[in-house]
């Protein structure tokens, strides 16, 4: 476990260093849509500083520390201005509120009254009333109501909405407010991957969250989520499904007005809101990547985790069965990828209390183990859900929700938590708007009267309808010139898209057979992009039952790339690799070259063999042949 932790810290440092190097030397986007390289003076400038890492999880959409430091001061000034009787002060407060919300990506959690320490909120021991555990200005219930009214009026003036997330009128009156501005186009998105063992309640929970109707205890809520006939027959998800949950500017979930109680699949599907309907009303969208739980579909689950760039992984655990089977495998993959984890213990209504306590004890023990090093926080109050939503990722906290899809217990806490998660596209460390266009293809379709349509994520830069682009690499490593006919986000037509957003592109004069998953779209440049057949990587063998030698083959997952690779060279005196070994190895793609970059993290597996690594060097195949 110590070797894994140190290796994860090392590959994080390599990843940050290579990303900083690539961004400092990247060609500058030009008005004509083409990428133009820096001049020699800029090309040789010093690399950007590498952010220090300590093996913590990656976080999504976090607001820079400098904004967090000024937020408390801004809150105090705004409350002082709102309490004033001067009209000019109210105008100033309105302008400050607008600036505060804009800096925080269109939404802000505003707290009024004395605030308890987070430790006391998380462990549920606020009853002691000791002063050292409280901070902020103590206010009466009347003062809080007056400030709420004044703030609502200020938000109305700028077209925003306000909702009460939490309030109490006890010994320390306080309230937590959500301030949100409507989006200019399609709402910002939070991507969550839902994983877990077979029959852990993944699809049922998603059905209840996105439809609003509780389950009947026999799986009625999940029927509308299945995409294939064999999924309806077996009750098992076998493909990467996508469901979305929208929240309006007032913080309320967007659900169908009336829901059927019929178990007929066609009737249930008709009651589902379309993506375009949700997108037009939503101020935030939570996209759930519903992944398969059965072992035979593990490669599909792995692809969804690596290509979908999720902000967090929601691990479903059945209270009656515990953390078993593929749940442990999925947890290990999420930890290896450095994605924050949220645990949902489902079926608490049908589980005996002693069995439920055993499951809770088991989950807590695994999360605290040296391999996970996470602090489990049980979400038993709305205040806990609010405080965890913005801090759990970077502080190695793991929220644990106890849910019943039949009685509805715990679902309100989960919905509030999801509503407040930072948007995936706001993660400036992962997605850079200032870099040239790079778009990863994760899905390909042929749409009648439209042509070839690809779906994927913008890793960097921006793209517009009508732009000339390069698509590739093909099986020979070449890139095809094409242009963008149309563009949609969540089935809503848009004219442009930016880094971090998931978008579908309709391509001109491109055959469906010429496009595959793992391709990229880039702008035209003076120096064309290159694909590579071979690369060097630092790897750690997590498990292998014998020895790994040259010519060993495994399935590699690297972003949207999924292809078999061959081990060409092992930079180790022994010439073989076993469980726990670290080494620098050379891989070769079996079928065709891929567009890869140094610093990209990778996973490879074959049967029960698992390995983790990071690309450190790209090898020119022509130079190797000569």
Shared domain for 7 and 87, answered yes or no, is no
From 230, 595, 285, 541, select the one nearest 423 (Cα to Cα): 285
The residue out of 396, 426, 456 marking a domain boundary is 426
Could you say which residues of the chain have pLDDT below 70? 1-3, 26-70, 125-132, 218-241, 257-272, 293-294, 621-626
- Residues pairing with 126 in the sheet: none
Shared domain for 516 and 542, answered yes or no, is no
Q: What are the backbone angles phi and psi of residue 98, rounded to the nearest 5°?
A: -60, -45
Q: Give the three-class secondary structure for 189.
A: strand
Shared domain for 207 and 130, answered yes or no, is no
Instruction: Read off the tokens for 91.
Output: 């105008």
Q: What is the reported pLDDT for 595? A: 96
Token pair 């009128």 in the structure block, residue: 169
For residue 239, being part of any structural domain is answered with: yes
Q: Are 467 and 33 in contact (CB under 8 A)?
A: yes
- Residues pairing with 397 in the sheet: 375
From 105, 127, 244, 82, select the one nearest 183 (Cα to Cα): 105
Instruction: Read off the tokens for 487.
Output: 């563009």
For residue 512, being part of any structural domain is answered with: yes
Shared domain for 207 and 234, answered yes or no, is yes
Q: Are 289 and 244 in contact (CB under 8 A)?
A: no
The residue out of 461, 490, 523 marking a domain boundary is 523
Shared domain for 135 and 79, answered yes or no, is yes
C-alpha span between 215 and 261 (Å, rounded): 9
Where is 300: in which H helix or E strand?
helix 298-307
* CATH code for the domain in which residue 547 is found: 2.40.30.10
For residue 240, being part of any structural domain is answered with: yes
- The domain total for the chain is 5
Q: What is the reported pLDDT for 511? A: 94
Q: Give the three-class secondary structure for 387.
A: helix
- Asked whether the bond before 566 is cis by omega within 30 degrees of 0, the reply is no
336 CB contacts (<8 Å, ≥6 apart)?
A: 8, 542, 603, 612
C-alpha span between 505 and 455 (Å, rounded): 6
For residue 57, being part of any structural domain is answered with: no
Shared domain for 159 and 268, answered yes or no, is no
Task: Compute CA 471 distance to the chain's CA centroid, rounded to the nearest angstrom.
Answer: 25
Domain that includes residue 567, residue range: 534-625
Token pair 């839902």 in the structure block, residue: 194
Where is 512: in which H helix or E strand?
none
The reported pTM is 0.86
Shared domain for 296 and 367, answered yes or no, is yes
Shared domain for 446 and 396, answered yes or no, is no
For residue 52, being part of any structural domain is answered with: no
Q: What is the reported pLDDT for 512? A: 94
Q: Are 336 and 8 in contact (CB under 8 A)?
A: yes
- Residues pairing with 376 in the sheet: 398
Provide the angle, in degrees to the nearest 10, between the axes of the packed helices 202-211 and 411-420.
80
What does DSSP assign to residue 247?
E
Q: Give the three-class secondary structure for 344.
A: strand
For residue 544, being part of any structural domain is answered with: yes
Express each pLDDT in 321-364 by its tens digit: 999 888 888 898 888 888 999 999 999 999 999 999 999 999 99
Q: What is the reported pLDDT for 76? A: 87
Shared domain for 72 and 168, answered yes or no, is yes
Q: In terms of DSSP H, where are the helices of 369-440?
A: 382-389, 411-420
The residue out of 504, 523, 542 marking a domain boundary is 523
From 497, 493, 446, select the one nearest 467 (Cα to Cα): 497
Q: What is the reported pLDDT for 26? A: 66
Shared domain for 462 and 610, answered yes or no, is no
């Amino acid at each position: 476990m110590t070797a894994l932790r140190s290796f994860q810290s090392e590959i994080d440092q390599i990843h940050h260093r290579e990303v900083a190097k690539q961004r400092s030397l990247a060609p500058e986007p030009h008005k004509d849509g083409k990428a133009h390289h820096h001049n020699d003076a800029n090309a040789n400038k010093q690399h950007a500083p590498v952010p220090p890492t300590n093996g913590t999880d990656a976080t999504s959409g976090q607001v820079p520390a400098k904004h967090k430091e000024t937020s408390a001061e801004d809150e105090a000034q705004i409350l002082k201005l709102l309490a004033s009787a001067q009209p000019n002060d109210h105008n100033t407060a309105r302008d400050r509120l607008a600036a505060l919300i804009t800096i925080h990506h269109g939404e802000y959690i505003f707290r009024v009254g004395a605030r308890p320490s987070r430790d006391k909120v998380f462990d549920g021991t606020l009853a002691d009333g000791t002063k050292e555990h409280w901070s902020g200005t103590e206010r009466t219930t009347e003062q809080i109501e007056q400030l709420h009214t004044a703030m609502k009026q200020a938000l109305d003036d700028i077209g925003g909405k306000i909702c009460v997330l939490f309030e109490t009128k006890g010994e320390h009156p306080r309230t937590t407010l959500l301030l949100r501005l409507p989006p200019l186009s399609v709402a910002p998105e939070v991507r969550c991957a839902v994983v877990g063992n077979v029959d852990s309640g993944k699809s049922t929970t998603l059905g209840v969250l996105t439809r609003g109707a509780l389950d009947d205890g026999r799986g009625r809520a999940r029927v509308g989520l299945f995409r294939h006939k064999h999924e309806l027959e077996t009750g098992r998800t076998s493909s990467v499904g996508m469901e979305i949950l929208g929240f309006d500017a007032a913080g309320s979930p967007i659900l169908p007005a009336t829901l059927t109680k019929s178990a007929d699949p066609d009737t249930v599907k008709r009651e589902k809101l379309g993506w375009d309907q949700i997108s037009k009303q939503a101020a935030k969208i939570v996209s759930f990547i519903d992944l398969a739980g059965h072992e035979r579909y593990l490669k599909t689950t792995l692809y969804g985790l690596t290509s979908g760039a999720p902000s967090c992984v929601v691990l479903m655990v059945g209270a009656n069965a515990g953390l078993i089977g593929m749940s442990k495998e999925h947890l290990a993959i999420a930890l290896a990828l450095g994605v924050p984890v949220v645990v949902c213990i489902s079926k608490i209504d049908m589980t005996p209390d002693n069995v439920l306590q055993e499951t809770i004890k088991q989950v807590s023990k695994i999360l605290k183990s040296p391999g996970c090093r996470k602090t489990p926080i049980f979400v038993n109050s709305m205040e806990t859900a609010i405080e965890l939503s913005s801090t759990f990722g970077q502080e190695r906290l793991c929220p644990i929700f106890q849910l019943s899809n039949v009685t509805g217990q715990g679902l309100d806490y989960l919905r509030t938590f999801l509503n407040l998660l930072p948007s995936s596209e706001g993660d400036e460390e992962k997605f850079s708007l200032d870099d040239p266009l790079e778009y990863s293809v994760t899905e390909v379709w042929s749409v009648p009267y439209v042509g070839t349509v690809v779906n994927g994520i913008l890793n960097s830069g921006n793209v517009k309808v009508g732009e000339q682009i390069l698509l590739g690499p093909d099986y020979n490593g070449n890139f095809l010139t094409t242009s963008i006919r149309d563009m949609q986000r969540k089935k809503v037509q848009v004219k442009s898209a930016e880094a971090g957003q998931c978008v579908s592109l309709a391509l001109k004069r491109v055959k469906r057979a010429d496009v595959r998953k793992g391709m990229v779209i880039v702008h035209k440049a003076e120096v064309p992009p290159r694909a590579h057949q071979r690369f060097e990587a630092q790897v750690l063998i997590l498990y292998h039952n014998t020895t790994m030698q040259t010519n060993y083959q495994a399935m590699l997952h690297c972003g949207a790339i999924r292809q078999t690779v061959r081990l060409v060279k092992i930079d180790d005196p022994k010439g073989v690799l076993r469980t726990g070994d670290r080494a620098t190895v050379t891989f070769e793609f079996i079928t065709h070259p891929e567009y890869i970059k140094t610093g990209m993290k990778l996973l490879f597996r074959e049967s029960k063999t698992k390995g983790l690594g990071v690309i450190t060097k790209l090898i020119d195949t022509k130079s190797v042949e000569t």
